[in-house]
Amino acid sequence: MRKKERYEKVIAWFQENVPVAETELHYNDPYELLIAVILSAQCTDKRVNMITPPLYRDFPTPEALAASTPEVIFEYIRSVSYPNNKAKHLVGMAKMLVNDFNSKVPDNMEDLIKLPGVGRKTANVIQSVVFNKAAMAVDTHVFRVSHRIGLVPDSCTTPFSVEKELVKNIPENLIPIAHHWLILHGRYVCQARTPKCDTCGLQMMCKYFCNTYKVTKEAPKAKNK
């Protein structure tokens, strides 16, 4: 299957079967989402959603968080991965928002990655989810699913190379939702250790499935979930 055809078929399947796809992190404004995404690094969204309500409640503004200390914040987030570093990042991020950005979350990559705890992936999540920009955040799920399906070649060995390939081939207006399509598919279907190939609706478009099960063009179409 040619690359263009694969992209067209995969996108069409998601549009029909997953018309609504959005972040599973809970938040009420850009500031809260920034906190949640920083906390979600190498941690599950479920865990982050369990600990953020008290944090949002007690530190409702960047000013409130900036006035706190990493030691205080640590007690709120101690059950996430790397709580010491993330506590420092959250306080540092809040101070920079207050001092450099008038307490507003920036809407561009250049400014976002200046914030403590914010790398390219986090910045792309904020740009995509909050500002609906054509930004593709590549986490472990997106990286894995993109390779398995065959959306990116084996030569894409870094998150940035995967990001560039996806952005180049997915229509700009669909990039924000495509980010979530790939994440959710990786989280619930195309899992790392035991991909649920038998129930996956992308079987006949998937390079991994066709190679693993020696599928030919005459194979029956996969059933939708």
Nearest-angstrom CA–CA distance, 173 and 134: 7
CA-CA distance, 61 to 185, in Å (whole number)?
A: 34
Strands (E) in the chain, as ranges, are none
Residue 29 a catalytic site member: no
Residue 121 is among the residues annotated as catalytic for this protein: yes
Query: Which is catalytic among the residues 139, 168, 217, 223?
Result: 139
Calpha distance 181→175 (Å, rounded): 10
- 20-52 in b/e form (b: 16+ CB < 10 A) is ebebbbebeebbbbbbbbbbbbebebeebbebb
Question: Is 43 annotated for ligand binding?
Answer: no
200 is annotated as contributing to ligand binding: yes
Catalytic residue among 121, 133, 214, 217: 121
Is 197 assigned to a binding site?
yes
210 labeled part of a ligand binding site: no
Query: Annotated active-site positions, please?
Result: 121, 139
> Which residue positions form the known binding site for [4Fe-4S] cluster?
190, 197, 200, 206
> Which residue positions form the known binding site?
190, 197, 200, 206
